[in-house]
């Protein structure tokens, strides 16, 4: 589990395709405190550390993961948001994030608002119903508060601090994002839809 509070920007150092795809990711994390088999959120995807070295770790992604997330487009030099798994007792600064991507979003527009930027993001209709004004959503692993929703497009404001410590500062229109809906919204919807026989 994660909180959606990004703690490092990693960079893809190498991509090797043979069966599953192996990515090496450069990081400033102290890898001495990261066990093999540990989970790290990489742009919102919960991935397993399969190897590590000084200043880098490796993960493997299946064809299914590549097809359902933005990982299929990663190449050497791609910058990604990183978050280590939540420990019991850690501060919950964002919201509960599982690292399971529900769908891909696309940035429709970016508009300056004071020092912040307003992003409008289009999502598939099947997950749009889970996104509500003032609710939470994770986009590329970042916990965000939804400002408004119009059909399958929602808006968020990204403050200068978030732009500086995540990849949001360099995002562009038409860029695709990994979207995870709020877990609470998922279960509320399931409870309201369930009809016992």
Question: pLDDT of 36-56, one tens digit each?
Answer: 999 999 999 999 999 999 999
Give residue 84's pLDDT.
97
pLDDT at residue 192, as a whole number: 75
Phi, psi of 84 (to 5 degrees): -75, 160
Strands, E assignment, 27-174: 39-42, 45-48, 51-53, 56-61, 79-84, 103-113, 116-122, 136-139, 142-145, 148-150, 153-158
What residue ranges define each of the domains in the chain, with the CATH number in brackets? 8-84 (2.40.30.20), 103-193 (2.40.30.20)
pLDDT confidence band for 170 (50 / 70 / 90):
very high
Decide if pLDDT at 196 tops 80: no
Q: What are phi and psi of 70, to 5 degrees?
A: -85, 0
Q: What is the chain's mean pLDDT, rounded?
A: 93
What confidence tier does 183 reach under pLDDT thresholds 50, 70, 90? confident
Say if residue 194's pLDDT is above 70: no
Are the CB atoms for 47 and 81 separated by under 8 Å?
no
Both tokens assigned to 2: 């994660």
Q: What percent of the chain has pLDDT over 90?
A: 84
Return the C-alpha torsion angle 19, 20, 21, 22, nearest 10: -110
Cα–Cα distance for residue pair 25/59, rounded to 1 Å:
8
pLDDT for residue 191 is more than 80: no
Above 80 in pLDDT, residue 193? Answer: no
Round to whole Å and give the CA distance between 150 and 142: 21
pLDDT digits over 62-116, tens only?
999 999 999 999 999 999 999 999 887 777 777 889 899 999 999 999 999 999 9
């Amino acid at each position: 589990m994660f909180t959606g509070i990004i703690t490092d920007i990693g960079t893809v150092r190498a991509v090797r395709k043979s069966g599953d795809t192996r990515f090496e990711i450069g990081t400033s994390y102290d890898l001495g405190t990261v066990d093999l088999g540990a989970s790290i959120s990489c742009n919102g995807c919960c991935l397993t550390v399969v190897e590590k070295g000084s200043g880098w770790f490796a993960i493997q992604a299946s064809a299914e993961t590549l097809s359902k997330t933005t990982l299929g487009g990663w190449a050497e030099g791609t910058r990604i948001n990183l978050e280590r798994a939540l420990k019991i007792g850690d501060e919950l600064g964002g919201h509960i994030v599982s690292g399971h991507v529900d769908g891909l979003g696309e940035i429709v527009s970016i508009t300056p608002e004071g020092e912040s930027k307003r992003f409008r993001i289009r999502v598939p209709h099947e997950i749009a119903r889970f996104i509500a004004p003032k609710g939470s959503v994770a986009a590329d692993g970042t916990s965000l508060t939804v400002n408004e929703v119009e059909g399958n497009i929602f808006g968020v404001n990204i403050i200068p601090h978030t732009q500086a410590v995540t990849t949001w500062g360099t995002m562009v229109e038409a860029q695709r994002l990994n979207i995870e809906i709020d877990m609470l919204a998922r279960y509320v919807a399931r409870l309201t839809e369930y009809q016992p026989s």
